[in-house]
Chains A and B, each alone.
Chain A
Amino acid sequence: DQVLHIVPETFQQVQHLQHLCNTLLLDLWKPLLPEDIWAGEDLHIRVPAPLVQEVKDSLDQYTISYRVLIPDVQELVDQSMPRERSSHRQVPEGYVYTQYHRMEEIYQWMTQIQKSNSELVTQHYLGKTTENRTMYYLQISQPSDKIKKIIWMDCGIHAREWISPAFCQWFVKEILQNYRSDPKIRRFLQNLDLYILPVLNIDGYIYSWEKDRLWRKNRSPHMNGTCYGTDLNRNFNSSWGSIGVSYNCSSEIFCGSGPESEPETRAVAQFIKKKKSDILCYLTIHSYGQYILTPYGSTTRPPSNNEELMHVAEMAAAALMGKYGTSYKVGPTSLILYSNSGSSRDWAHMIGIPFSYTFELRDKGTHGFVLPPDQIQPTCEETM
């Protein structure tokens, strides 16, 4: 298929072009409708491959000059978005980490990552979502006799924060790609296991792709299906429902009907509770704002290990800034952001996990949730 650029010069040319579009049912990219074709104005038409010669002949016949704007539309589409059916795209070497991916692709990616890195990676069942989709996490673990401490990282608890799942995927890729060549990563994995949940709020993420880009919550129905969604990051059992929430389903910070009322919350909480004695660090990735947030959101009373928490976070922010100069603010949510209760990060710390952080990735509001794909790489690189 080709896209042609034409600037009709006369009214007759306009008429002929309208006729061509209507009879051949050509795909008008600009303007949208044949009746909006005007002399002197840019016209972009996508012509299906079998009709290209016929259309060009017809334009020549009416001495309408044209230029080929896009010589191969499919090529351009493939470059910007990998085709789902194309089998070679599912190999991680062909996976484009600098683009946003829909959930089906992420599921396929997880399977592939495990297949091509089976000595280190295993995929595990975590639970089911409200709409009955399966939640999986990836375990990156170097085979060894000793029991290792765990670092848990989840992404995509809020549907619209697309840079977050993109980061989890990038992170996995970086670790696996550089495991052999980077002694730091090898040493890391000698002593620690990584558990990564690339998308926590799967139903919400899919909804943000298909229906509403700025959706935040999960998709649990309330009030007889007249209202949807609980804010999963207000649904954990950490001073649940006390501050910075709404009890009204129509709010974006609706905390649900009770602590852990949502299957997604329960799936994560049950697992973490089971493993908590071995979990050293809980990380949850969000956007936007450029913060590294420490407990708590529900109170300004500092956590017991506040000094150490802050020190580590400050070192992280400094390292992050060293890469591209991006500045992150560090501190407890309740002091530098706003008060909220029921967050997963507060909960993780309250049950005894010493290092618990929320990362709010780029940016500071210029693009907000709709961060362009060309920022995926720098955001992920600096956060690594």
Chain B
Amino acid sequence: DIDGVGHKYHLELELEDVLDKDSTVNCTAEVLYHLGNKNIAPDVQFTLEGELKNTDEADNVFYNRIKSLEKELVAENIPDNYGNVSPEMEPIHLLAWVASGYVIWQNSTENTKFQLAQIKHVKQVKRSDEYLEFDYKILLHEMLTQEIIPWQMTVLWHPQHGVEVTRDSRQPKQA
């Protein structure tokens, strides 16, 4: 408890590679939830105790595959209703996961617990530069209210420059 500022949490985490369960990295972090104004994202400071795996090869394969498509990529329902993700869509799914992490962070309070539930729709946006751009419509699941919240996010990615969410907005729930 920090008077007049907010609540600070000190965390010791173990990060596990989603694609390789045996690969883990320890991490310490400090999260500060601000008092009062719930519209400010919590402050996060972290230190990785080790290195993250190098993904250059897979990144480049994916990058080149998308770059060589004649038509912009479009897809829906990832995973599908049965939980399946096709191998070609796996990187699109992972990218959404990373990007949704940013959206979740920006919208988290001490009383929320968000998860990405599903990608409803993804559309690649043509760009003249080297970046890949995707317009995602995702569904976030919030644990406390059990709500499914539609969200739009525009995601930029480049193998050397990483992920950036350039625009995101909560969408109205469909009737």
Chain A contacts to B: CB under 8 angstroms:
31, 36, 38, 40-41, 100, 209, 213-214, 216, 231, 244, 246, 250-253, 337-338, 365-373, 375
Contacts and interface: CB of A to CB of B under 8 A. Distances in A.
Given A31-B71, A100-B82, A252-B145, 9 more contacts: A214-B148, A244-B144, A251-B145, A365-B141, A367-B83, A368-B141, A370-B79, A370-B83, A372-B84
A253 B117 contact: no
B36 to A, nearest CB: 22
Contacts of B81: 209, 213, 370
Interface string B129-158: 000000000010101111110000000000
Interface in B68-92: 70-71, 79-85
A40 to B, nearest CB: 7
A337 B111 CA distance: 11
B76 to A, nearest CB: 11
A369 B70 contact: no
A305 to B, nearest CB: 28
B24 interface: no
A214 B70 contact: no
Contacts of A369: 117, 141
B117 A370 contact: yes
- Among B80, B118, B143, B146, which residue has the most Cβ atoms of chain A within 10 A? B146
B77 to A, nearest CB: 8
19 contacts: A36-B71, A38-B70, A40-B70, A41-B71, A209-B81, A250-B173, A251-B145, A253-B145, A338-B144, A365-B141, A368-B116, A369-B141, A370-B81, A370-B82, A370-B83, A372-B79, A372-B83, A372-B84, A375-B83
Nearest to A251: B145
Nearest to B141: A368
Contacts of A250: 173
Chain A interface, >50% SS class: loop
A301 B148 CA distance: 31
Contacts of A368: 115-117, 141
A360 to B, nearest CB: 11
Contacts of B143: 337-338
B22 to A, nearest CB: 11
Contacts of A337: 143
Given A367-B79, A371-B83, A373-B83, A214 B117 contact: yes
A17 to B, nearest CB: 15
B2 interface: no
A368 B97 CA distance: 13
A251 B147 CA distance: 7
A258 to B, nearest CB: 20
A372 B148 contact: no
A355 to B, nearest CB: 26
Contacts of A214: 117-118, 139, 141, 148
Contacts, number: 61
Contacts of A246: 145
B83 A216 contact: no
A251 B142 CA distance: 12
A254 B3 CA distance: 35
Contact of A41 (B18, B70, B85): B70
A250 B118 CA distance: 21
B15 to A, nearest CB: 14
A372 B145 contact: no
Contacts of B82: 100, 370, 372-373
A151 B88 CA distance: 45
Nearest to A226: B175
A231 B173 CA distance: 18
B121 to A, nearest CB: 14
A235 B116 CA distance: 27
Nearest to A289: B143
Nearest to A252: B146
Contacts of A216: 146
Contacts of A372: 79, 82-85
A358 to B, nearest CB: 14
A213 B79 CA distance: 11
Nearest to A339: B144
A244 B145 CA distance: 8
- Among A214, A216, A366, which residue has the most Cβ atoms of chain B within 10 A? A214
A375 B18 CA distance: 15
Contacts of A251: 145, 147
Contacts of B144: 244, 338
Nearest to B68: A40
Contact of A365 (B80, B85, B115): B115
B166 to A, nearest CB: 25
A22 B47 CA distance: 59
Q: Which 4 A-B pairs have the closest CB atoms?
A: A372-B83, A365-B115, A252-B146, A213-B81
Contacts of A100: 82
Contact of A38 (B18, B71, B83, B117): B71
Contacts of A365: 115-116, 141
Contacts of B84: 372-373
Nearest to B117: A368
